[in-house]
Structures are given as C-alpha cells and as structure tokens.
Amino acid sequence: MPKNTPPGPRDERGVLAARILAAARGAFADTGYAGTTIRAVARAADVDPALVYHYFGSKEALLDAATTPPQRWLQNVAQTWATPVPELGAALLRLMLAAWADDEIGPVLRSVLQTAAHEQSTREKLRRVVEAQLMGVSGLGVDERDRQVRSGLVSSQIMGLAMMRYIWQIEPMASMGDDELVAAIAPNLQRYIAGDLS
Amino acid sequence: MPKNTPPGPRDERGVLAARILAAARGAFADTGYAGTTIRAVARAADVDPALVYHYFGSKEALLDAATTPPQRWLQNVAQTWATPVPELGAALLRLMLAAWADDEIGPVLRSVLQTAAHEQSTREKLRRVVEAQLMGVSGLGVDERDRQVRSGLVSSQIMGLAMMRYIWQIEPMASMGDDELVAAIAPNLQRYIAGDLS
C-alpha cells in the first residue's frame, strides 16, 4: 500500500483492508511473526493473497500496520496528560479502560501486547509507544529522571491492569466495573504522580 | 519422562534435561507452541531429537515442563503471604525481584509470560498460578470478594512491573535498583493490602 494513499474507511478498499488487518492481528498474536503467512491471513480474511500484497506490500509492512494504534488515540493520550494533576490518575485510567472497550482501538492494543511478548520488532514498537505516549509527554517530577520514574511507575500499574484484565483475563480484575477499578487504583496512580516516592 | 523419576540436577540426565528445557523455553517464547518443533529444540540444545522424546514424551509435555515454576519457589510465595501485614507489600515485591534474578526461576517466569501471550494452555497455567499462588493464599480483606480484589490489585502492580522491567525492558524501570523500586512501589501495595479502596 503506497504510503500516500491509505484506504478510506468507507469505500470497498477500506472495508477489505480493515478485514485483512483484523485477520492479521489474530494471526500475529496467535502464531507470531515467523508462524504467520500472508496466505493464512488472506484465508482468514476471505480475500485473495494477491490483494494482501497489493494493499500492504510485505509481511513486515502488514505487521507494522496491524500493530499501529490509531492516530486519534495517540492524540487522546497526549491530551490526557494535560489533565490537572489532582485528576490525572483517574483520567489516565479511564482513558485506558475506554480504549480497550473501543472496537477499533481495543483489538490493536490486544495485538500489540500479545505480539510484543515474542516478536522483537513489535516489542520495540511497544517500547516506543510507551516511552513517547505514556511517559514522554508528562510534565511530572522535579527533573528528567524523576519524570521518567514517575510516569514509568504509572505505566507499570496501568499495563499490569491491562494484562490481568484483558490479556490473561484473571478474575475478579477481568469483570470489575470501571468505577470500582478507578476508586481502587487512581489514588495509587496519584501517589506515583505527585507523592513522596523515597 | 515418567512423573516419578524426574532427572536429578547433578547427573548427566539432569544436565541434558536442563539444557533441553532452556532451549524449549526460548523456542516456545519466540515462535509459540505451533511454531516450535521438537527437532528445533533438540538442535538448539545440541542433543538428538530422540532424547527429547525419551525425556519428555511429547511437545505438550515439554511445554508443560518448560513453563512450570520450581516447587521451591511456589513454596516461597506461599510462605511470603504469611508476612505480617505492615511488611507484606515490600516482602512480595522483594520476592518477585529475587525470583527474576534467580538463574533457575527467572527463565521460567520469562517463558511463562512470553508464551502466555499467545498460547492458550500456558495462559491457563499462568491464570492458575496467579490465582492459586499470588491471590489464593492471602488472608486479606473482610470477605472472599474483598480478598480477591485486594490480592488481584497487588498482582496487577507486581505483574505490570515485571512486564515493564523484564519482558519489555522499558527504562528507567528496567535498570532501577531494587531498593528504589521497593521504596516507590511497596507503599502502593500496602494500600491495596490494607487501605480503603472505595
């Protein structure tokens, strides 16, 4: 797929590309990069393998497209870091909960976390996203290292909840309500954001 | 490998079995269950494939053996939950940090977390270990659900730190010292253990 002509979401090309990406997310998460073939993705998406090559060019480019979070979500994350400090923990947590419940964002996050466990290039991408989006835009802390430690700690709690709730599906974390989770976890995030950590 | 005759760690059989298990952990983590062959594991361990079958019987049994934490560690975890409440958060955290630094336990934990991302049977095993070991033995909370919520929250923070520090290797979490991590995180665990969560 030439970089300058992404498929629009509403035309036939967009519909087929979305179907291919959904199939690719499942395949990469289940069988890894090495175990995934364009042929198997095409079969799962019910399209001709030539169409997958035509749209995405290579297996590597398909992995990249399948594990790239939507730009609008990355913008949401960046904006959320501008929340006033006393509400920041709850805002970050609610953003994460909403993202996983979103039909477009949830499957990408799931695919990234599952594929990053065993695929080096996806782990690099996850690292870049966490460092740039979850940690990079914060204005926390008294200096650069303090800022990184505080946002890293926030990320560790948010990502741990995501693994327990959405990837490993361990109860009761998997089925607790959003409000109960926010009441339980947001104060801990607030300590990482503005508390004494020494 | 018959269940009643595990290879001893010091004889030749034990040395070869340990080498096969180490190779299997890498293979399952990197290429998943479907993408891993006994032949490839044998090659990585520099042994004959027949020996892998002789020791472990099947690929399924090999996965099970490769992702089963040592019994002595499971006992350590259970004992740690008996720590007096005011020190419990720090004790659980130091137990996890020591486990990942352990030559025998660390590679098993890494393999479980990497393989559980995409292999259903390993995810089931991780769920059982977390539910039974991290959440099952605690005496926290005022009732059964409160106990599960509190130990689930503790697990979410500990597992999130493990993913950031050891699997995804995101800085500064990956290289922070143990004492700094305990000072930063243990008070948050204490809130989950004994604080007001509503």
Q: What percent of chain B has pLDDT over 70?
A: 94
Q: What is the mean pLDDT of residues A31-52?
A: 92
pLDDT band at B176 (very low <50, low <70, confident <90, very high): very high
For residue A161, the chain B residue with the least C-alpha distance is: B156
Interface confidence (ipTM) of the complex: 0.88
- Report for A121-135, A173-187, B133-147: range of highest mean pLDDT: A173-187
Is residue A61 pLDDT above 70, yes or no? yes
Contact B114 A114 (CB under 8 A): no
Q: Would you state the pLDDT for residue A66? A: 93
What is the tens place of the pLDDT at every residue in B25-43? 988 887 778 778 999 999 9
Rounded to an integer, what distance in angstroms lies between the CA atom of residue B158 and that of residue B24?
26
Tell me, yes or no, if A76 comes closer than 8 A to chain B by beta carbon.
no
User: Chain B closest CA to A197's CA: distance in Å?
Assistant: 5
Rounded to an integer, what distance in angstroms lies between the CA atom of residue A115 and that of residue B149?
28
Is residue B132 pLDDT above 70, yes or no? yes
What is the tens place of the pLDDT at every residue in A64-84? 999 988 888 888 888 998 899
If you search the block for the tokens 């309500």, which residue do you land on?
A: A177
Tell me, yes or no, if B29 comes closer than 8 A to chain A by beta carbon.
yes
Q: Residue-wise over B17-55: b if at least 16 C-beta within 10 A, else e? A: beebbbbbbbbbbbbbbebbebebbbeebebeeebbbeb
What is the tens place of the pLDDT at every residue in A2-27? 444 555 456 788 899 999 999 999 88
**How many Cβ atoms sit within 10 Å of the Cβ of residue B102?**
14
Q: What is the mean pLDDT of residues B174-197?
A: 97
Residues of chain A neighbouring B35 (CB-CB closer than 8 A): 31-32, 34-35
What is the tens place of the pLDDT at every residue in A154-182? 999 999 999 999 999 999 999 999 999 99
What is the tens place of the pLDDT at every residue in B95-125? 999 999 998 899 999 999 988 887 788 888 8
Rounded to an integer, what distance in angstroms lies between the CA atom of residue A111 and that of residue B170?
19
C-alpha torsion B120→B121→B127→B129, nearest 10: -150
Q: Would you state the pLDDT for residue B98? A: 96
Q: What is the mean pLDDT of residues A36-45?
A: 95
In terms of pLDDT, which residue wins out, B93 or A137?
A: B93
Amino acid present at B20: I
- The rounded mean pLDDT for chain B is 89
Is residue A151 pLDDT above 70, yes or no? yes
Q: What is the mean pLDDT of residues B139-165?
A: 93
This prediction has a pTM of 0.88
Q: Would you state the pLDDT for residue B32? A: 76
Tell me, yes or no, if B24 comes closer than 8 A to chain A by beta carbon.
no
Is residue A33 pLDDT above 70, yes or no? yes
User: Chain B closest CA to A12's CA: distance in Å?
Assistant: 31
For residue B28, the chain A residue with the least C-alpha distance is: A118
For residue A179, the chain B residue with the least C-alpha distance is: B198
Rounded to an integer, what distance in angstroms lies between the CA atom of residue A35 and that of residue B32?
8
Q: What percent of chain A has pLDDT over 90?
A: 60
Q: Would you state the pLDDT for residue A10? A: 60
Least CB–CB distance from A164: residue in B152, B180, B192? B152
Residues of chain B neighbouring A127 (CB-CB closer than 8 A): 168-170
Residues 125-184 of chain B with CB under 8 A from chain A are 126-127, 130-131, 135, 145, 148-149, 152-153, 155-161, 163-165, 167-173, 176, 180, 183-184
Helix pair angle (B38-45, B12-31), 10° resolution: 120
In terms of pLDDT, which residue wins out, B11 or A167?
A: A167
